[in-house]
Chain A
Amino acid sequence: MKTKLVLNFNPEASNLPITHNLIAEYGLLVNILRAEIDEIGGKMVIEVSGDDDSTNKGVEYLKKAGVGVRPFKEGVRRNDEICTHCGVCVSICPTSALILDHETRKVTFVEEKCVACGVCIDACPPRAMEILI
């Protein structure tokens, strides 16, 4: 099973080899989708693959290490009240997470494909895309 997680670090936790530990100790495959780390801490979006049990244990480990863990669902959002379905974002998104339906001419946000790169945020004219990580 693949799970996308948003991690928030304080400066201490930034120094822990957490991805290494997730891989070595819990047998999870870790794909780093986005990382921003500086002296005041950092944020990271990762995709972990492994069975449920290991994933849960991995998450427990992260929490104990002082890392904030949130499901990715809360990471990137589209505000449907604001979106005009203009389609500006569709040719910008590197993972085709924003798709224009050629029949209805509506734009769908496919969360599973989103890697939280943030490219669409400042491209959306009415500012319907929000990144919260």
Chain B
Amino acid sequence: MTAMEFKEFVATNGVRKAAKEVDIVTTGTFGAMCSSGAYFNLGHADPPIKIHRAWMDGIPAYAGLAAVDLYLGATELDESNNILHGGAHVIEDLVKGRAVRLKATAYGTDCYPMKEMDTYVSLKTMNQAVMMNVRNAYQNYAAAANSSGKTLYTYMGKLLPELGNATYSSAGEISPLLNDPYYRTIGVGSRIFLGGGEGFVVWEGTQFNPGVARTPRGVPKRPAGTLAVMGDLNGMSQDFLKGLTFTRYGTSLGVGVGIPIPILDEDLASACAVTNDKIFTAIFDYAEQKRSRSVLKEVSYADLSSGRVTIKGKDVPTSPLSSIYKARQITELLKKRILDGSFVVTEPVQRLPLKKSINTLDVRSEKEAMK
């Protein structure tokens, strides 16, 4: 069943019946996921080249791995900082089947004499093209508004002045980690729907922070768990992978992630029954340019998705940043693939940590850094 169907099923039949009769619930999300990228093995040149610097369609790719392995990050921009076309857009182009211009320079060694190359590559010419995202599928996320007098351009979208709008990012009740709040079924080794193709959860995501305040039913009220995921770019589709531009901020990759949750018992059934009115987050004031911004209002996803919230007595229209429409499509597709046997649900081989806190980056001495 999809997450939407499951919630309705529980509402009419109760948790006990749901736990008994439903095997798997499919969850999904589609949104801007920074900390995404892809690595490539280009194959060896003749004479061989040990790439020192590389550009894919003008976007610098990291070459400090070996001779012809590159990593291209979604938020990377060219030297002119053109935010309409970043690493994310190059990855989208590759998935669309397009060829990408590769420029490479090297210092030349006895075993890798070639010093320069200018050519084209595509998924067909590469040995590996693998999406490797170190932080995706945030379990809950902050919402944003702007109390200042001028428009702000942020990774939370365009924020109009004087609380002119509010944006939020999580897919809410159908988002994977909000349905399995204590990571009982989603862990290292879980097979997932990734960008239209398949992939795996390979580790906890960066900034994994499970210790935030939770509701009595365990749902985090702030950004909490995250996932590191990887999967073959071959097999992914432009419908679920999109280069995005946030004006005056930069680029990001819109990624579709879908995760099946096996209903192990009544606890998990009741966790998966969670609805938007029971999931909370806070609207932060992005007018404050500091690490911890003040909370304008605590809200539920039911409030946010109604299209309007009241902040400080003002009626404020809201916008989601992630596409619930696409997230639902993902839950449907994943369900179909599980039913026809083309997607096999796996058990995780290692659980994600439940205890872990996050550190901050501060100016410190060498000694302080080692304490």
Contacts and interface: CB of A to CB of B under 8 A. Distances in A.
Interface of A: 84-92, 100, 102, 104-107, 119, 122-123, 125-127
Given A84-B30, A85-B323, A100-B307, 11 more contacts: A84-B254, A84-B325, A84-B326, A85-B324, A86-B30, A86-B254, A88-B321, A91-B318, A100-B320, A107-B325, A125-B245
Interface in B215-254: 242-247, 252, 254
Contact of A104 (B31, B247, B319, B325): B325
B211 interface: no
A105 B29 CA distance: 13
Nearest to B156: A88
Contacts of A85: 323-326
B32 interface: yes
Contacts of B158: 88, 92, 119, 122-123
B167 A127 contact: no
Interface string B318-347: 111111111010000000000000000000
A125 B324 contact: no
Contacts, number: 80
B320 A127 contact: no
A126 B243 contact: yes
A122 B245 CA distance: 8
Which 6 residue pairs spanning A and B have beta carbons closest together? A91-B165, A125-B244, A91-B319, A91-B317, A85-B325, A105-B324
27 contacts: A84-B30, A84-B325, A85-B324, A86-B30, A86-B254, A87-B321, A88-B319, A88-B321, A89-B319, A90-B307, A91-B164, A91-B166, A92-B158, A102-B305, A102-B307, A105-B325, A107-B325, A123-B157, A123-B158, A123-B247, A125-B157, A125-B242, A125-B254, A125-B321, A126-B243, A126-B244, A127-B245
A120 to B, nearest CB: 9
A87 B326 contact: no
Contacts of A102: 305-307
Interface residues of B, number: 34
Interface of B: 30-32, 84, 157-158, 160, 164-167, 242-247, 252, 254, 305-307, 316-326, 328
Contacts of A86: 30-31, 254, 320-323
A92 B319 contact: yes
